[in-house]
Homo-oligomer: A and B are copies of this chain.
Amino acid sequence: MPTINDVAKAAGVSPSTVSYVLSGRRPISAETRARVQAAIAELGFHPHAGARALASSKTNVIALVAPLRVDVNVPVIMQFATAVVTAARSYNHDVLLLTKDEGTAGVERVAHSTMVDALILMDLERDDLRIPALRRLKQPSVLIGLPADHTGIACVDLDFGAAARAALDHLAGHGHRRIGLVGPSPAVYKRQTTYADRFLTGFLEASVDLGLQTVTHPCEPGAEGVRSCMADLDAELAGLTALVVHNEEALRPLLDLLHATGRRVPEDVSIVAICPRDVATAMPVNLTSIDIPAHDVGTLAVETVMRLLDGRRVEYTRLLEPSLVERDSCREISASHR
């Protein structure tokens, strides 16, 4: 492996000049620059990342802490990761992948040993133990999610409250007045990831604002969970004409169940789902849905990191507007149901 010294010799300049050609931090004459670049190309020189990090205190690496349990939501996590890696590369950074399992220790390890310039964490819990640890780091961090007290730490997420509101707006606009929410599994609420609550709160507030009769229920995974959730919803509020489904895995069994019990979508029951677009369109009925904009969120997280690294101002809470895409699962309520 050639070093910067080899390049310098080959180009007949000093190593510092090569460095300045590379970084552009000082003016270098066109001819010198050309000679240096030729030497770089010819020797196939690549600066040694460790040496660079040591000298400049910059690694050009950011950590991504992802929930790598083999869990639900896998596709969404993957979309986040993809977006983060892609965006990071566009800023000439690489991504070190950590699992959430390592907890506080993992975060501190990579930060203290100066492996990364910044961190992006996903799947934050309400009172996430890692947050106080993050505050102590010299590296900035950006959260994908919205824990309770994130003072001083930038957060990016979908505005789940607004998403709930948008779903109800849409259904109310189609004349629906009795609406059920098929919520995430109790495990999600238990895990204290706040998006479930934010959605629920938005849902309840919008119900009031719009004068709707609504009923909500978490939904265990699997056909049985869906069955019992629907039974509960129906029992608590007769004459449901629409469902909001904030539970990706429930979608399929739910449609099966509705089909089996002779409730047609959208003729008898309208549905708005909160899920990735491809899930919405992979169902027997193309579902009107609110996308989880994982790509946008991931990209924004990286942009925020870059601003922080540049010492620029950032908004500490950035909640992305939901966007509802109409497909085939909502219909104007028929007169007979009003």
Contact = CB atoms under 8 A, between A and B. Distances in A.
Interface of A: 1, 44, 46-54, 59, 61, 64, 68-70, 74-75, 77-79, 81-82, 85-86, 89, 94-99, 101-102, 109-110, 112-115, 138, 252, 256, 278, 284
A271 B101 CA distance: 37
Given A50-B54, A74-B78, A98 B94 contact: yes
B82 A68 contact: yes
Contacts of A69: 82
29 contacts: A1-B112, A1-B114, A1-B138, A46-B113, A46-B114, A47-B113, A49-B59, A49-B113, A49-B114, A49-B115, A50-B52, A50-B59, A50-B114, A51-B54, A53-B53, A61-B96, A64-B97, A68-B82, A68-B85, A70-B75, A70-B78, A70-B79, A70-B278, A74-B75, A78-B78, A82-B99, A85-B99, A94-B98, A252-B252
A23 to B, nearest CB: 15
A99 to B, nearest CB: 5
A112 B47 CA distance: 8
